Amino acid sequence: MNIRKTTLTDLPAVMQIYKEAQQMMVETQNPDQWAIGYPAQATIEKDIENGLSYVCEDNGTIAAVFYFAIQPDPNYVKIDGAWKNDEPYGVVHRIARARNAKGAGAFCLKWCITQADNVRIDTHKNNTPMLKLLESLGFEYCGIIWLIDVKAERMSFQFVAPK
**CATH code assigned at 110:** 3.40.630.30
Query: What does the pLDDT read at residue 33?
Result: 74
Tell me the whole-structure pTM to 2 decimals. 0.92
CA distances from 150 to 72, 80, 145, 147, 154 (A): 19, 17, 12, 6, 11
CA gap 68, 94 in Å, rounded = 9
Can you say how many angstroms the Cα of residue 25 is from the centroid of all Cα atoms in its chain?
Answer: 14
- Under 8 Å between Cβ of 109 and 123: no
pLDDT at residue number 65: 98
Q: Are 69 and 91 a contacting pair, CB within 8 Å?
A: yes
Containing 59, the helix (H) or strand (E) segment is none
Task: Return per-residue pLDDT of the chain as tens, 163 residues.
Answer: 999 999 999 999 999 999 998 888 888 877 777 776 789 999 999 999 999 999 999 999 999 999 999 999 999 999 999 999 999 999 999 999 998 889 999 999 999 999 999 999 999 998 999 999 999 999 999 999 998 877 789 999 999 998 8
Q: Look up the domain containing 103 and give its range.
A: 2-160
Structure letter (DSSP) for residue 138: T
User: DSSP code of 98?
Assistant: -
Give the chain's domain count: 1
